[in-house]
Structures are given as C-alpha cells and as structure tokens.
Chain A
Amino acid sequence: MLWRLAFRELLRSWRFGLFFIFNLSLGLAGFVSLQAFNTALEDQLRANAKSILSADLAVSARREITDEEQKKMQAVLPSGTDQSKIYEFFAMLSSAKGSRLILIKAIDKSYPFYGELEMKSGQIIRYGTPKEILSSPTAWIYPELKSQLGLDVGDEIKLGNLKLKVADLIEKDATQTFRAATLAPRVFINRELLPQSGLLQFGSTFSLAYLLKLPPGVEEGALREKLYQALPDPQITIETPSSAGEDSGRQLGYLSDYLGLVAIIALFMSALGAAYIYRLFLSTRMKEIAILRTLGLQSGQAVGVYILQASMLGLLATVPTLFFSYLVLPLLSQLLASFTPFDLHPQVNLEAFLVCLVMAVFGSFVVSLPFLVKIFDLKAAKLFSEEKFSVNEGARRWWPYLPPLVLFYFLSVYQAHSWMTGSLFVASMVGVILMLLVIGYFTVKLAGVLKGFRLWFLKFSFLSLSRRAGASLAIFVALGLGALLINILPQLKNSLQAEFQVEGRSKIPSLFMFDIQDEQLPGVEKVLEKNHVKPLGLSPLVRARILKVNGQDYERKIEAQGFKTREEEREARFRNRGVNLSYRHDLSSSENITEGRPFSGEFKPEQQKYAELSVEYRFAERMGFQLGDVLVFDVQGVEVEGQIINLRKVKWTSFQPNFFILVQRGVLDEAPKTFIAAIPFLPEEKRFLLQNEMAQEFSNISVVDVVRTVDEVLKTAEKMSWSLELMAGLALLTGYIVLFSIVRSQIKLRRWELNMLKILGASWGEVASFILAEFAFLSFLAALAGALLSVLVSFSLNAFLFESDFKLSWAQPLVSVFIITCLSLLISFLASLDIVKESALSILREEK
C-alpha cells in the first residue's frame, strides 16, 4: 500500500519531482566529477611511484636470498604474480677510451613492470618490449659516459671478463630519482651474463631485488606485512611504491591528504544540497501528510511514504548525474590538457557511483531525519488553520542528529582514507555548524529589530525574515556552510603551493661537489672563479656522534638477545649512524624557523655556556628533541655541548645541501671538516668542462651532475602544484552549483508568499525588491560568516594535517562572498520575474 501511495503521489506532483531530481543531480554531478578527477590524479601519482620502483612490490637485500627464503616468499605470493630479478652494483668499466666507476643494472626480460626507458635511438623500453641487450652481447649506457669518456653506440666496453658493445644510450630513465643520482652512471646489461663477468662472487657488494607485479586486487600493504613475517631477517627490505621513499614523498603525502579533503568536501557539498532540497520536499508535503493522517494513516506509515518517495527520486537523480558526468568529464579533461601538464582521463568509477547512490537514496533522508520526525508532531487540526505548514514546529529532539553524524563520520573517513583527516574534518564541521547556528540566530534576531525603513517592502522583508526564523536560520546555515566549504580548498592550496614553489632555475644546483678538503678550498674557488661560476652554497661538513641528550645516553646499544623488532633495530642503526654538522651565520633562503629564535651571532665563550643549535623540525620530531634540550656531541674525539635554540623547516625544492643540525659559528670552525659546493645551472658543455677540470686538479673531489634528476623532480612539483589548483577550482565550481540549487529551492518555497503579494496588489518591482532585500541581507551575512570561518578551519587543518606555513589570502574569501551574494540575488530576481509571468491561480493551486 505504501509503495502505491508513494508512487501515485509522485506522479501527481511530477513537476516538483523533476525539480527535485534536477537540483539533486546537479549536486551529485559535482561530487561525481570531483571524485573522478580525484581518482584520476591519485592513479597518476600511484603510476609515477610505481614507475620509480618498476613494480608493485620489491623484495630486496644486499645479499643473495637463500633457497629457503625463496620458498617462504613464493608461499606468500598470490598466484599469478609476475617476477623479475635484477642486480645492481658498482663496477669499473674499461674501454679503449678510458675507465671509470659505473653502476651496473643487470635486468631480465620482465623488466620494467612499470615505467619506461627512453632511448637515444627513439625506442621506448616498456614491459614486454623486446630488448636488444638480452639477445646479443650488448649494453645500454647513460649519456654521461659519452660526455665523460666519449663512448657511443658500437664502442666496446669491458666489465670484468665481459666484453659488450654499446647498443644504445638511455636518454630518460623513469626509475632514477634525485636521491638515487649517484656517483656513477648506469649501464644496463643482461642478468644472465653475470656469471660470465666474474664480478659477483663471495665478498661482492651488490643489491638484489625481486620485482613483483601482483595480480589485480591484491593489497600491496597487506602483502608487504605478510612477506615481512615470512622473511624476518632485517637485511631484507620490502618496498611498495608508496614506501619507496622518493624525495617528494612528504609532499606526495600532503597532496594525498589534500585530495582526501577534496573528496570529503565534495561529499559534504552534495549532502548539503541533497539535505536542503529534501527539507524543501518535506515542507511542501506537510499538508498532504496531515490529510493522510486524518484519513487514518499512522505517523510511521507517513514517514515510510516519504522515505520511499525521496529514495525513488534520489534513485532517478543518479541517471542525469551519470549522463552529465559521462558527457562533461571527457570535455573537461581535454580542456585541462591544453593548459596543464596533465593527461588525465577522469572516469566515473564504481566506488564514486556507489557513494553517489548511497547519498541519493539514503543520505538525503538520513540527513533530513531531524525534519522527518516532525511528522510525528503534525496535528490534523492544522489542516483547518490558515497558516502555512512548516517543518520547524513541534518538540525538539537531539537523537535524530545522531544517525547523520555517524553516517557522515564514517563516509568522511572512508573518503579521506584516513581516520585522522576524517575525524578532524567532521569535528571541525560540527563546530562550524554550531557557530553558524549561533551567528545565524543573532542575524535573524537582528533582522527583526531593524527599523526605520521608509519603503514598506524593506520593512516587510526584514520582518518576514525574523518571523520565519527557522527557515531563515536553515538557509543561513546552508549558505554559510557552502561558503565555508568553497573556501577551504583554495585557502589550503595557497599554503601548500608554497611548498612546491621553485625559486627559479638559476638558484637550483646543476652540480654538487663533495669531499672538498679544507686545504683544497682556495684551489676549488680559483677554478670556479676562472670559469666565472659563483657557487650557490659552500657548506662545511663536520662529522660527529650524538652522545647524550639532557644527560641521557643517546646511542642505542645492542642487548644480549639482540634487537627485539625490525623497527627497534632500524631506530638503533639510525641513532648510531652519526650526524653531519654544519655551521653558518644565518639560515638560507630555503629554511625558516618554526619555533625558537635565530642564532645570536658568533659564539661567545665568556657569555655562553652552550653553543647554539638549530635542528630540522622533522629530525627533532623523530628523535624526540625539544627546544632547550642540551646535546653532547663527540666531534672526532672531542666533546662539544650545545643547546637547541630553534627548530627549522627546510624547503625541499631548493635542492641546497641542508643539514639536520646546524651549529652557531665560532664553535666548529677549526674542527676537521670537508666542504660541499652547490653549483648553479650551467649549460651542458660548460658543465662537462668544469667536471673534467675538477677531476684533473682534485682527483678526490666527486662531482655529481643532478640536472636530469632535478628536472624530473621539478616536473613532479609542477604537477602537484597544478593538482592543487585544479581541484580547488573544481571544488569552487561544484560549490557554486550546489549553492545555486539551494537558493533556487529556497525561492521555490517562497513562491506562494510572493504570489500572495502579487494578488494583494504589489507591483513586480515591489515583489522583486522584497525578495532581493531579504536575500541580499541573508546571503551576504551568511557568506561572510562562512568565508571568515573558512579561514579559521583552513588554518586549523593546515596546522594539524600539513604543518606548512599558513598563507592567508583575503581576496579569495571576499570574492566568494561577492559571488554568492550576486548569485543569490540573480536567482531571486529571475524567480520574481517568473512569478510575475505565471498566473496567480496556478501557483495557488500548485502550492496549496
């Protein structure tokens, strides 16, 4: 019976049904589009990470994996796992043109599972590409060997007992990272030739990796844990693309958290739209419910009818949502591809569709539960009253707020893939809604006390606002929340983008020189001066061990029974590794103090008990160091005491040599040290000349060319920056669409009232002014409150999630206040035009 009733009534009010579906699908389409872009971006980031590892999972060790370990590993791997075994090690390459240190990468036919190698010949080596080095005694070499030794295609090289011809030069290697920019250029050879080379035998130092390509659906993290249990030796490392530890890893983490926030905001936006429209739906149906109740329908049954109706409409709203998304997404991605570095292919995935379905079918009525339970308070007597029905009557209950809170909490955690982000966001939203309610309450009260208007419609407009306090408060909170959600992402974007900004190519190093001895420094400076090169930085490096922190031993000693866990051992090894200290007068432009004060200047032994120390804040966090802690160092046999006076943050895109611990000048100046020099960007030819000159004059100084790897990192940084821009932009667009649908729904609710004004003889101008004044007041104050609160929320999210410097920009929130107010006014104006055009009788019939 309920089904029939619900269906029949829907058919009867089909125009309202269409309106509901249209508005709801607008909000949902925004959610689905954002979600599709989010997934596409995440997929691309994951693909980048996978191409660095060239696998889904890598099991590696600096030794052979024993037969027994192999058996254990195979037992854990899911069936259908593809495997590739590669070796990496340093060796000396000799040729007729000279010899030098290289890094051999011995591969097999499966390499690489992900990523690619771009060859000078134009060939692209991917998974499954036939490889010349596997079918003939040849090798691929890095182009540095051409510039340094003059080696080229066809030349013969000797690696141990192995004689190979150079088949091609590797122009671009997706697996090389900034960190892996080593002292030696890579040479790729066939793994099966290794026994012939005689290079790998007892005592050889090498890295062996089993690269794994997992069948679809296998969760890498869970498999990693299983493998760690099966292979407990700490010498075996198991890496997933996300744990591979690229330099930009922290920033990738930030981006991932940001995308998580985008997903939650999209969810809240669509829920806000859905809830508001559903509330409208209920308020227009109160009269029918009262009639049904006088005819003997129970309250529970009445609620059932409207739940069914809303669910049916919600279900129908997903059809235009999907249609719109399929139509618009390819166009949008094409448009973006023309001015961003992305080649994204956003698609509506099953996950987004299911969340959209849950939102449409269940979400809207769960969110509207506080309104829905009002049906129980509905009195049939109201039917005979002249008042219009309202959903804001009856007893106040708190429990109906609980299900939407629980639902949104779990959906938020699910969307963000993080308990912390989800919890933090929901908590701040609850806080913000409460604040908006308070601000809204006073705003509505204020409207009631505003007096002294000469024009009657202005007076009437403000009185009407305070008389319908409940409805006014609802639109205030909805608009305020919309303004808030719209502004969070752009605010956070501004702060996060600063992390990816690069100071300009001229300030980024192209070469690093290290192991410069104290007495070699004048000579090195002379060579650089002769070549008209001014180093970006020349940092002294003093090796030391931390002995004590606040009087407690810092180093970890091995217990009689050994280390209990892998983590314990890793931590101990990290602590016992020693530290590189440096000193300088001031912090560099890529560093800023997060806590504490700058150095006071040169060390003054007569005034200072301890040397001043500046510690990188993440290192301090890992080691548990605090401001004011006293550290005792062993600087090559001499104990030096220092106190932490500041914690500092280092910007990774500067690529400058940075140190965990900096010591005040005048303390270590005379300690044994070496120097690291960072050389600014130089043209290729000049770089090679400088490298050769340095090698001839100072044989011990190693010069590493980082141009190629820096370029790759910069491209990633640019992509990340664009991702933030793109998602913030899309969120803004979606937000405005949702707000559009909210204001439109609100206006629809007022049609009857506006029509009455028309019937009573008000001119179109007066009707329009009445509604415009009301919306101008409400939307401006709501948007202003939301935008201001967004600064607070963004600041907190930034502090808790991203720990980056908050960059406050007033322009964005103020522009959004202007747009929201204008949007509301435009919709109100159009609605008043409609009402003038339509027959008064038809509106009366439709509404009553």
Chain B
Amino acid sequence: MRPFLFCIILLFSSFTFAQKKLIVLGDSLTEGYGVAKEAAYPALLEKKLHEAGKKEWTVINSGVSGSTTASAVTRMKWLFKSKPDAVLLVLGANDGLRGLKIEDSQKHLAAAIEYANSQKVRVILGGLYMPPNYGADYTGQFKKMYEALAKKYKVTFIPFILEKVGGNPKYNLADGIHPNEEGHKIIAENIFQVLKGAL
C-alpha cells in the first residue's frame, strides 16, 4: 500500500464517524496562503458551524495555491473518494488573474458542478470578482459567469466571498491579494451567513 493512499484511506475512514463532510475546493484564498492552517477560513467556518449547533459538519480545506478551474474535476475525483456531502467550489481567481478566457473557465466550472451532481454531492458555488484594473468588460463578464452558472445549475450561491475584504488593505497581506487573519474571519462569516440556513 502506498503511504499516500494508505493515509487517505485511514483519514477518510475516520471521517465516516463524523456525520457530514464539506470539502472546500479552492486556490490560495482557501489554502490560507501566508496564514496558519487554523486561521484560514475553512477552519474558521467549521468552528462557526459547530458554534451554531451544526456539530455534525467537518470542513476539509482542499485549497491549492495557483490552481485554476481546469483542476476542478480531477481534484474532485480524488477527493470524492471520501464521500463528502457537500463541496464549496471557490475556484476561478487564478483564471481571472492570468487573463484566461472566461468561456473556458465557465466550461471547467460547469463540468465540475456536473460531476459533483453526478456523484450526488451538493454544490455551493463561491463567486469571485476580478479587480477593476482588469477593465470593465472583463470584470463584468467574470462576475456574470458565476451568476449564470448558479442560475443554470440552481446551486447555493455566495455572490462574492471576499465581500468587505477584497481591495481593503486592512484585511489583506502586503501582496494586496491574499487575505490576512482578519480577512479570513470576514470570509468565514460571509460564507457562514449563507450556509447556516442552507446546510
């Protein structure tokens, strides 16, 4: 048995004792680039859910820095071996920052939602905005991409998970892109506000 497989089976089998599992599939925003793992929003969200009485939920951080929407389906195939109940899809920031074609990103996200649906895993879509310096055309289309996907697939939708955080130096690291500890708290709250009734 290869160790990675061995560990993952051990870990995943231990999850079966927990009642419900939410995987956060994202990029560096989710990974918590620059902050400790416990300070990243998936860990904070789990805490909030538990405080709100939803103690059956375990939140798994599956953030990979630099990842694009193209990685979504492959990663889901791997992660879904642990039989999660829901997946919070927060991908697309790197597609936008790298100026990738919006139709391609949309195609990848659509494929991911369809795959999750086929696996009977509930999808929550986390929307993102592109910074205004990418121009009104591109940022407008980018925003619409999430709205269109949410509408088409009728998934639970958080329009902008970085609400109050994006663009505010107070809640971001020196790179101006990645949230700091305070920023992650707000993101966790933004998501919690939607999920507390939905989960």
State the A residues within 8 Å of B (CB). 61-63, 89-92, 94, 100-101, 104, 159-160, 183-184, 198-207, 234-235, 237, 515, 517-520, 543, 545, 547, 555-558, 573, 576-578, 603, 605, 611, 634-641, 666-672, 674, 699-700, 702
Contacts and interface: CB of A to CB of B under 8 A. Distances in A.
Contacts of A200: 132-133
17 contacts: A92-B138, A94-B135, A200-B132, A203-B167, A515-B71, A517-B71, A520-B70, A545-B31, A577-B33, A611-B3, A637-B8, A638-B4, A638-B7, A667-B2, A670-B78, A671-B4, A672-B79
Nearest to A558: B181
B3 A603 contact: yes
Contacts of A674: 66-67, 71
Contact of A204 (B3, B97, B131): B131
Interface in B63-107: 63-71, 74-75, 78-79, 95, 97-101, 104
Contacts of B51: none
A204 B139 CA distance: 11
A635 B101 CA distance: 29
B32 A576 contact: yes
Contact of A237 (B74, B167, B174): B174
Contacts of B6: 605
A672 B132 contact: no
Contact of A700 (B39, B69, B138, B167): B69
Contacts of B135: 91-92, 94, 159-160, 199
Given A200-B132, A636-B64, A637-B11, 19 more contacts: A62-B169, A183-B98, A183-B99, A203-B129, A203-B166, A204-B167, A205-B133, A205-B176, A517-B70, A519-B74, A577-B65, A578-B65, A605-B6, A636-B75, A638-B11, A639-B7, A640-B3, A641-B3, A699-B104
B62 A573 contact: no
Given A62-B175, A199-B132, A203-B129, A184 B99 contact: yes
A639 B37 contact: no
Interface in B129-159: 129, 131-138
A235 B174 contact: yes
Interface string B16-54: 000000010000000111111111000000000000000
Contacts of A670: 2, 4-5, 78
Contacts of A92: 99, 134-135, 137-138
Contacts of A90: 97, 99, 133-134
A576 B75 contact: no
Nearest to B24: A637
Given A556-B36, A637-B79, A205 B131 contact: yes
Nearest to A574: B34
B121 interface: no
Contacts of B78: 670-672
A543 B7 contact: no
Contacts of B98: 101, 183, 702
Interface of B: 1-8, 11, 23, 31-39, 60-71, 74-75, 78-79, 95, 97-101, 104, 108, 129, 131-138, 166-167, 169, 173-177, 181
Contacts of B61: 637
Pairs of residues from A and B, 10 with the lowest C-beta to C-beta distance, nearest first: A101-B99, A62-B176, A203-B167, A700-B70, A699-B104, A204-B133, A555-B36, A235-B174, A63-B169, A543-B64
B155 to A, nearest CB: 22
B99 A605 contact: no
A667 B7 CA distance: 10
A672 B169 CA distance: 33
Contacts of B69: 700
A543 B65 CA distance: 7
Contacts of B65: 543, 577-578
Q: Which residue among B32, B75, B97, B176 has the maximum number of chain A CB atoms within 10 Å of its CB?
A: B176
Given A667-B3, A672-B78, A199 B167 contact: no
A666 B2 contact: yes
Contacts of B4: 635, 638, 640, 667-671
Contacts of B1: 605
B37 A555 contact: yes
A573 B39 CA distance: 12
Contacts of B7: 638-640
B132 A203 contact: yes
A584 B177 CA distance: 33
Contacts of B175: 62
B132 A204 contact: yes
B169 A235 contact: yes
A687 to B, nearest CB: 19
A565 B56 CA distance: 40
Contacts of B166: 203
A603 B68 CA distance: 30
A206 B169 CA distance: 12
Given A201-B132, A639-B7, A634 B37 contact: yes
Nearest to A519: B74
A547 B62 contact: no
Given A543-B31, A558-B181, A638-B8, A89 B64 contact: no
Nearest to A566: B174
Q: Which residue among A92, A518, A556 has the maximum number of chain B CB atoms within 10 Å of its CB?
A: A92
Given A92-B135, A202-B167, A234 B129 contact: no
Contacts of A573: 34, 173-174
A63 B39 contact: no
A672 B39 CA distance: 23
Given A92-B135, A205-B177, A638-B4, A672 B37 contact: no
A636 B65 CA distance: 11
Q: Which residue among A202, A573, A700 has the maximum number of chain B CB atoms within 10 Å of its CB?
A: A700
A672 B91 CA distance: 15
Nearest to A201: B132
A672 B75 contact: yes
A94 B137 contact: yes
Contacts of B37: 545, 547, 555, 576, 634
Contacts of A699: 70, 100-101, 104
Contacts of B174: 61-62, 234-235, 237, 573
Nearest to B64: A543
Contact of A91 (B95, B134, B177): B134
B115 to A, nearest CB: 13
A700 B108 contact: yes
Given A555-B36, A603-B2, A667-B3, A515 B133 contact: no
Contacts of B132: 198-204
B74 A576 contact: no
Contacts of A605: 1-3, 6
A613 to B, nearest CB: 13
Contacts of B134: 90-92
A736 B104 CA distance: 70
Nearest to B104: A699
B60 A577 contact: no
Contacts of B75: 636, 672
B54 to A, nearest CB: 20
Contacts of A543: 31, 64-67
Nearest to B27: A543
A518 B77 CA distance: 12
A695 to B, nearest CB: 9
Nearest to A667: B3
Nearest to A104: B133
A483 B29 CA distance: 61
A573 B137 CA distance: 34
A90 B38 CA distance: 31
A414 to B, nearest CB: 37
A160 B36 contact: no
B133 A518 contact: no
Nearest to A234: B174
Contacts of B79: 636-637, 672
A63 B100 CA distance: 25
Q: Which residue among A91, A104, A637, A640 has the maximum number of chain B CB atoms within 10 Å of its CB?
A: A637
A523 to B, nearest CB: 12
